[in-house]
Amino acid sequence: MPDSQQQQQPEMNSSALHAAKTHLRSLMKQRLSNLSPDAITSQSNAAFDTLSGFRPYREAKRIGIYLSMPGSEIQTDPIVRHALASGKQVFVPYLHKSGLPAEEGPVRLMDMVSLRDIRDYESLQRDKWGIPSVDGATVHERQRSIGELDGERSADASLDLILLPGVAFDVDPETGAVRRLGHGKGFYDYFLHRYALAAGIEKTSSNDGPSVLLYALALKEQLLSPTAGEAVPVGLHDQPLDGIILGDGQIKQSAGNRRY
């Protein structure tokens, strides 16, 4: 994983960081609302074409991928169908109550759980945001990337590649790291922290990440322009990425990521 940008700039205090992230999310919501469905479809197709020829994706046996909400982000339906048809194991987000007291951790956690096949995927029901969602009654029948769930254990399933969503992204001008602004719930950052612990990685600093490739999928409008004075505000626990695949077909790699 690339070195984190936090060492290269003064760290914001928590209230200033929260305010900066909230402001940027509001700006991005307005910016993305101007995109037509046809433009989003076109960019989603371009991102899929690039991804399907990308060696880390071609070689991955187990991938984690978000299931997209309608509009305002790269649509992942073609990717999920292609991955399943290619014989890959596909893992998708599942949110559940953590069972932790509020002072000890988040109330809800995200895990990645396996899809059985294309029929299983097509049977998923959409939630209130229009996102296809795994039925909680079936979770204990599925493989999980972090085995613990509701106090029960199963074997952890390691992933080769995770494709993440986000609100905004940039490339740190000093470190070259690809940075991500999420939707504000912290599900992915906390999941990646737990994934690293479950994988038995000894974290020697806050910058150590999970031993899995992390790539975002993003509309080209979600990549901020440093020349326009735009930047992703970052905190200590924000996870840098290995790279980003954009809706214009570009791949931007984090500096220092020479594996591909």
What integer pLDDT is reported at residue 257 of this predicted model?
A: 60
Of 183, 173, 186, residue with least CA distance to 222? 183
| pTM value surpassing 0.85 | yes
List, for the chain, all residue ranges whose pLDDT scores fall below the cut of 50: 1-10, 202-207, 258, 260
Range list of β-strands (E), 150-211: 161-164, 168-171, 178-181
Q: How many Cβ atoms from other residues are within 10 Å of residue 96's Cβ?
A: 15
What integer pLDDT is reported at residue 155 of this predicted model?
A: 63
Asked if 157 and 62 touch (Cβ cutoff 8 Å), the reply is yes
What integer pLDDT is reported at residue 118 of this predicted model?
A: 98
What is the rounded CA–CA span in Å between residue 77 and residue 131? 11
- Encoded tokens for 29: 């919501």
What integer pLDDT is reported at residue 5 of this predicted model?
A: 39
What is the rounded CA–CA span in Å between residue 207 and residue 94? 25
Asked if 157 and 90 touch (Cβ cutoff 8 Å), the reply is no
Query: C-alpha angle with apex 1: 160 to 155, nearest 5 degrees?
Result: 35
Please give the span between the terminal C-alpha atoms of the chain, in angstroms, as a whole number. 12
Is the sign of the CA dihedral 70, 87, 51, 113 positive or negative?
A: positive
What integer pLDDT is reported at residue 13 of this predicted model?
A: 82
- The Cα-based distances of 95 to 89, 92, 174, 223 in angstroms read 19, 10, 35, 27
What integer pLDDT is reported at residue 3 of this predicted model?
A: 41
Q: Per residue in 133-177, pLDDT tens?
A: 999 999 988 998 886 655 555 667 889 999 999 999 999 998 999
What integer pLDDT is reported at residue 194 of this predicted model?
A: 84
What integer pLDDT is reported at residue 146 of this predicted model?
A: 80
Name the burial class of residue 55, with classes exposed (0-12), middle (13-18) and buried (19+) by CB atoms within 10 angstroms of its CB: exposed
